Structure 1
Amino acid sequence: MPLFADSQNTAINGGNFVDQSIGVINSNVTTNISPANGQTGIDILLEASNPDAAHDSSARDYAPRCHPGTREQYIKDIIDWGAPTAGADDPLPLFWMKGLAGVGKSAIAQTCAEELKKLGRLGAAFFFAVNVREDAEQFFPTIAYQLSTEFPEYHDLLDQRIRRDRTILKKTMAIQFKVLIDEPFQELEKTWKGIGRRMVIIVDGLDECKKANDQSRIIDIIAAAARDGVTPFRWAFFSRPEPQIEASFTSNDVAQVTCMVLLPVSDDANPDIELYLRSGFKNTLRRRNIQVTSQWPSDDDIQALVKAAKGLFVYAAMVLRDHIVLWSLILRFRIY
C-alpha cells in the first residue's frame, strides 16, 4: 500500500515533502505561497486598515471643503510645497498646520488632498476622527494599502512580504513603518522601480488619534525617516496644537525637517466667512425654490453673523447646516 494513499497534492522532492497546491518547496527556495483562507497579502493588509480614513471614502462624503474663493493663499502654499514647480528649491519633507478647533484645518486638508489628487501628487491620506477613525494601529496599514493601489511594483512587493509574515500587522508602529513602507520603497529605488517623484501623504486630525503617546510616536517615526532621507514622501499634518504634538514638532530633531504654519483665529478670515455665508444662503434659497423680492439676509444680518463667528468657520458652517436656524430666519423676515 502506498505510504500516502489518500494524498492528492503531495510529492517528494529532494527529500522534502511538498504540498503541490501551494507550490514547490526545496531546501533553499519557497514560491507561490498561498496564505490561509485563500487571502492575498493585500487582502490581509486591507483587513488591518481603515478604508473610511481615505480622502474620498463614502463615509466622508460630507467632509468639509473650502468654499471656492476662500482660504486660497493657504491652499496655494500647501500645493506649492507638495508639488513644487520645476527648478524650485526642494521643500522640507514635513508640513504642520496647527490651529484651534473650528478654524477650518480639516476643510483645507480635504481641499488640498483633492487638488493634489488631480495633479497626480497625492500618495495617501488619513483623516482621524474620534470614536470612528482613532486607532493608531490602523494608521500605517491604511497608508500602505492606499499606496499599494497607486504603485503596482510596490503592491506586488508588499503582497509578498505580508504573505511571508502576516504578523507584521501586529508589530509596533515603528516596525510597521519600516517593513510596510520604508524598506519596500528603498528596495524599489535600488532596482530603478521607484515612484520617480515625491508624493504627498496628508494626515488630518492627528490630535483625534486615541492615545497621546501614539500621536507623538507617529510624528517621531516619520520625522526620523525624513531626516535620513529614506522616505520618498512629503507628509502634511493638520492638528490642534496639543502639548504632546507641539512638543514633538518643536523638538530640534523634528523642527529641522518641518515647515510649520499657524492657522489663527483672526478677523482676517472675515471676508472668507462672509463669502461662504452669502453663497450658502443663496444655495439654500435655490434648493428650496424660494423666491425673494429683496436681499436676504440683509447686509446687516450677514455682518452680524460674521461678527458672531469670531474668525471660526465652524460657526458659519453650523448656521448653514442647521435647518432650524435657517427656517427661523425665513419666518422672521417673512420670505415666501
Structure 2
Amino acid sequence: MELKGSKILVIGGAGFIGSFVVAELLKEDIAEVLVYDNFARGQRSYLDEQLKDSRCSIFPIGGDIREVDILNEAMAGKDYVISLAAMWLLHCKDFPRTAFHVNIEGTFNILEACVKNNIKKLIWSSSASVYGDAVELPMTEDHPFNNKNFYGASKIAGEAMCTAFNDRYGLEVIGLRYMNVYGPHQDQTAAYTGVVPIMLNKIEANESPVINGDGSQAYDFIYVEDVARCNVNALKSDTKFGMYNVGTEVQTSIKELCDTILDLKKSELKVIYKPYSADDARSLVQNRIGSRVKAEEELGFRYKYELRDGLKKLIDWRIDTGVDQKK
C-alpha cells in the first residue's frame, strides 16, 4: 500500500511504543502525522525530535479515547489510524472498571470513529495476553485464549469488536499481539513498570535483583523499535484484516534475562530468588513465545534486534537521559 501524501492519526503517539511509531512513520513520504494522547502515560519529551519535523504535531485540545466528539474532530480528514492507547496490565488489575471504559469502550469509540470518518485502515494494538499461558510453543495466532486477567480480557473484547466492525462495515483492521516489549520510553520507575526496568533499577542501585520462583519462566522479548516498524509494515501491507503476533520466537527465561543484564552492567551482584505470592501464583503465565511466521509471510515483518543488542541500547539510553540518577 502506498502511503505517499497520506495523513495519519496516531492515538497514544506520545507513549512508550507510540513515540517510536511516530518516528518510524516520519521516514515515509507522508503529509501529516497527528498525535492524539491524554498524556496519562505518554510524555511530550518523547516526541522532541519528531516535532522538529513540520509534518508532525500534537492535537491541541486533549486526546482521550473516551471523549467521542474530540476523537472525531482529531480523526476528521485522516487517511489512516494507528491506535496504541490502553491501560496497562497491572493497572487494569487494580482498576478494572476504568480498564473497561478505556480499553473496551475506548476501542469501540475508535472503531466507530473510523467508520464515521471513512478511515482506510486501522492498526490496533492487541497483546499476547489474550493467550494466557502457552499450551504449545511457539504459539501461533490460532492458539486458544487462556487469559485470566482483566487486561487480557479487554484485549479479547477489542479483537472481537474489530472483527465485528470489519464484517459489518468493511473496516480494514490489523490487530497486533505484542509479546514482551522493552526499550526506551517504557516507564522506568513507576509502580506499574515492566520486568526489565525493575531489574535495571535494582542493579543500578547496587541491590540484588529479585526473581520470583526459580527463574525458569520464559517469554518472548522484543525491542520497541522492532514493534514500531511492524506497525508501519502492517499499515503498508495489502492485508485488509487479521490478528498477528509481534515477537521474535526466541525463548528467554527470566534467569537468562537477568544474567544478560548483569553481564552488560558488569555487575557481581547475586540474584535473590523468592516464592510467588498466592495471588501471583494463581494467575502466573509461565511460558509465552509467539510464532513469527504469519507476520513474516503476510506483513513482511521480521525483528532486527537480538535481546542483548536491544538491552544495550536501553542501558545507553538510561545513561544518556539520566534515568539512573533519578531513582
- TM superposition score normalised by structure 1: 0.28
Give the number of the structure whose alpha-carbon radius of gyration is greater: 1
Q: Which has the higher contact order (CA 8 A, sep 6+)?
A: 1
Q: Which of the pair is proportionally richer in helix?
A: 1
Q: Which has the higher strand share?
A: 2
Which TM-score applies when normalising by structure 2? 0.29
